[in-house]
């Protein structure tokens, strides 16, 4: 279930943000997008997820060309996003937040798999609590769990460690490793925390001013060269 873009472009109004992005993410791998702030990393994930429709170029999933589709249609085809800022519903309970994933699933799949609570036990303990009462780290776990419930072929993670305490960052890392080990999901990670990103990555893309400046397997790059690309 490989994800591939060819020549992807994106505009905000009259400003061009992305210039001809060629990108591949394969199942069983973490493909990490690095770069300083403002180079188009989040915009690229929005283009993949359908929250900001691309201007040009193609997106293919498992060889099928995906049109310029809105977010729900992209989610139904298997692209699930954990957005920057988490975007959980503060007035809904933890369970109700998780159940919002059912909107893209057939009725037979409208259940919360035990795996979710095994990976995120805090959510089981807080199932009746409102989302807005959770800490930032707990909300991030909820956002990842909700995305997993959509049974994605591609999981898009935008800055999952931002503003989160170290013990929860480690737990999120373990969850990503687990999902990678299952081998049936491509994971795309946008991350400013270099050590976290480098530790998980199989493939690296470095964005610079809306273009791909560097790309390839992690083993092809010197660690400090990559680190310099995310330093402001």
The tens digit of pLDDT for each residue in 61-78 reads 988 899 888 888 899 899
The tens digit of pLDDT for each residue in 133-147 reads 999 999 999 999 999
The residue-averaged pLDDT of 48-71 equals 90
Task: Say if CB 110 and CB 139 are below 8 A apart.
Answer: no
Taking the chain, what is the end-to-end CA distance rounded to the nearest angstrom?
35
**Residue whose pair of structure tokens reads 């400046």 in the numeric block:** 213
Per-residue pLDDT at 188 exceeds 90: yes
Q: Residue 187, exposed/middle/buried by CB under 10 A (0-12, 13-18, 19+)?
A: buried
Question: Domain with 48 in it: what CATH number?
Answer: 3.40.50.300
Per-residue pLDDT at 60 exceeds 90: yes
- pLDDT given at position 22: 97
Per-residue pLDDT at 207 exceeds 90: yes
The two three-digit tokens of residue 89, written as one number:
């519903």
The tens digit of pLDDT for each residue in 105-161 reads 889 889 998 999 999 999 999 999 999 999 999 999 999 999 999 999 999 999 999
Note down the domain range covering 100.
3-230
Per-residue pLDDT at 56 exceeds 70: yes
Considering the chain, what percentage of its residues have pLDDT values greater than 90? 76
Rounded-to-integer distance, Cα 102 and Cα 49, Å: 17
- pLDDT given at position 1: 63
Task: Say if CB 198 and CB 225 are below 8 A apart.
Answer: no
Per-residue pLDDT at 232 exceeds 60: no
pTM over 0.75: yes
- pLDDT given at position 51: 87
User: How many domains does one find in the chain?
Assistant: 1
The overall average pLDDT reported for the chain is 92
Rounded-to-integer distance, Cα 109 and Cα 218, Å: 36
- pLDDT given at position 37: 86
> Which of 85 and 11 is assigned the larger pLDDT?
11
The residue-averaged pLDDT of 34-59 equals 92
């Amino acid at each position: 279930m490989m994800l591939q873009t060819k020549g992807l472009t994106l505009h905000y109004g009259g400003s061009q943000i992305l210039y001809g992005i060629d990108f591949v993410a394969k199942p069983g791998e973490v493909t990490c997008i690095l770069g300083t702030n403002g180079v188009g990393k989040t915009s690229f994930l929005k283009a993949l997820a359908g929250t900001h429709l691309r201007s040009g170029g193609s997106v293919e999933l498992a060889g099928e060309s995906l049109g310029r589709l809105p977010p729900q249609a992209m989610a139904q085809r298997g692209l699930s996003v954990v957005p920057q800022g988490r975007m959980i519903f503060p007035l809904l309970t933890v369970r109700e937040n998780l159940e919002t994933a059912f909107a893209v699933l057939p009725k037979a799949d409208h259940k919360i798999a035990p795996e979710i609570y095994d990976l995120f036990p805090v959510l089981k303990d807080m199932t009746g609590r409102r989302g807005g009462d959770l800490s930032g780290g707990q909300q991030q776990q909820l956002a990842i769990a909700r995305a997993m419930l959509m049974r994605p072929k591609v999981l898009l993670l935008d800055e999952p460690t931002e503003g989160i305490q170290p013990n929860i960052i480690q737990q999120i890392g373990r969850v990503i490793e687990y999902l990678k080990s299952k081998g049936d999901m491509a994971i795309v990670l946008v991350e400013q925390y270099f050590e976290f990103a480098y530790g998980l990555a199989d493939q690296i893309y470095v964005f610079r001013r809306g273009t791909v400046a560097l790309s390839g397997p992690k083993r092809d790059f010197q660690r400090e060269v990559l680190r310099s690309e995310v330093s402001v």
